[in-house]
Amino acid sequence: MKMIKRNFTAIDLIILIAIILVLMAMIIPALQTARSKRPQKPCTNNLKQIGLAMSLYFADGSETEFPKNTKFNYLDEQSQIVKSLKIDLKNLTCKAQRVKAKKSVYVVPTPIQGMKLDDFENVDSIIAYDGTTEGDVDFHKTGNRANALFGDGHVQTINTDLKTKY
């Protein structure tokens, strides 16, 4: 049986290049989106670590109320909440660019402070969020969303439409 030898034609090459270009056109926007969201991931992890510190604080049952800050509602190295929960200071900074503030902070809403564990330990209660030193929610420039830590310990992104419960 004789084999027919077929050469690679110009049309075959053009079709191959077109397929590669179509694949690149689909992949490049996805890569750019992932690259732009990369600075937000440490922010999400920081809130998760704060939630873990909160869980450990209440784990043995000796503490039943969320600690209070005396002067302000955001977390920094002088915050009573940071000292009580023993939060590592490296978990208080986020390098993602924000819409309002140059300094990134995590805000603990005033109604949560001093509240009993049973009153906020649920999926609807926001414990902390990306914010400003004035206490406002501060959204990330990419995607116009902010991260929030909920009373059950999960972290998710929020937008302006979210109704919160304290």
Q: Answer whether residue 109 is part of any domain.
A: yes
User: How high is the pLDDT of residue 88?
Assistant: 86
Residue bearing the bigger pLDDT, 59 or 34: 59
Asked whether residue 165 is domain-assigned, the answer is no
Task: State the chain's mean pLDDT as an integer.
Answer: 83
pLDDT grade, residue 146 (50/70/90)? confident
More confident residue, 160 or 156: 156
Structural domain of 67:
39-158
Q: Classify residue 75: in a domain, yes or no.
A: yes
Instruction: Let me know if residue 74 belongs to a domain.
Output: yes
Position 55 scores a pLDDT of: 87
Count of structural domains, the chain = 1
CB contact at 8 A, 111 and 66: no
Strands 126-131 and 155-158: unpaired
Q: Hey, what are 42's tokens?
A: 């440490």
> Does residue 11 belong to any structural domain of this protein?
no
Q: In this structure, are residues 43 and 31 in contact, taking their beta carbons and an 8 Å threshold? A: no
b/e 105-143 (16+ beta carbons within 10 angstroms → b): bbbbbebbbebeeeebbeeebbbbbbbbeebebbbbeee
- Please tell me the pTM assigned to this model: 0.71
Cross-strand partners of 107 = 74, 129
Q: What is the pLDDT of residue 165?
A: 44
164 is a domain residue: no
Does residue 22 lie in a domain region? no
Using the predicted structure, report yes or no on whether residue 162 has a pLDDT greater than 70.
no
Q: What are the φ and ψ backbone dihedral angles of 140, each rounded to 5 degrees?
A: -70, 145
119 part of a folded domain: yes
